[in-house]
Amino acid sequence: MTNITPALIASLRELASKATPRLWVNMDDDTFFGQIRAIGEDDDNFELIAEMPELDDRTADFDYIEAAANHLPDLLDEVERLQIEINILMRDGTYKALEDENNKLRAENKRLQKDLQSEEAWAQQYFKLWQEALLMKAELEARTYSVNRDETVDFFCGECGYDAPNHSEKCKFYKP
């Protein structure tokens, strides 16, 4: 990334000041297609700035040139304004304090993300154990039921733990 120094800003301003000082427009109509023209204050004076070679279609390049020519002075003003603001913040220590606070928040964020991953892993393990316990409970209840009735049970729900005669509509796997 280029370091935007006062010298660079000055050279860009000099280039902009030497260029045609009117609004630049990438013409996209049938008559002037492929041309960048500078529009005068009365909108009737179109001065040719650049023309695309015939059968060449680089409209994106011409859109870029138009945007750069029309917005460069405003962008340079904003860069200078922000540089002044940063210098003021650095001079009074605010910048350093903000940078320190930002670094603390980043470290805290990393720690919290690690804790969250640990909590999620624990919750997944707990849920798996809970499912296994529920299945064992269902098997035990099914065996107890079959022993009490002196018969075997062909069906029991591994989700809610009930065998076929006691299975209810409260279970999402209920099928009458």
Question: Which of 2-11, 24-33, 128-137, 164-173 has the least mean pLDDT?
Answer: 164-173
Higher-confidence position of 44 and 86: 86
Instruction: Quote the Cα angle for 30-34-39, to 5°.
Output: 85
Q: What is the pLDDT of residue 175?
A: 55
pLDDT digits (tens, 9 = 90+) for 98-124: 888 999 999 999 999 988 888 888 888
Confidence at 86, pLDDT banded by 50, 70, 90:
confident
pTM: 0.48
Q: What is the pLDDT of residue 61?
A: 85
Q: Is the pLDDT of residue 78 over 90?
A: yes
Are 131 and 157 within 8 A, CB to CB?
A: no
Query: Rounded to whole angstroms, how far apart are CA atoms 76 and 113?
Result: 40
Burial of residue 50 (number of CB atoms within 10 Å: 0-12, 13-18, 19+)? middle
- Percent of the chain at pLDDT > 70 equals 77
Which stretches of the chain are DSSP H helices?
6-18, 59-91, 94-149
Are 40 and 81 within 8 A, CB to CB?
A: no
164 contacts: CB under 8 Å, gap ≥ 6: 153, 154, 155, 156
Give the mean pLDDT of the chain: 80
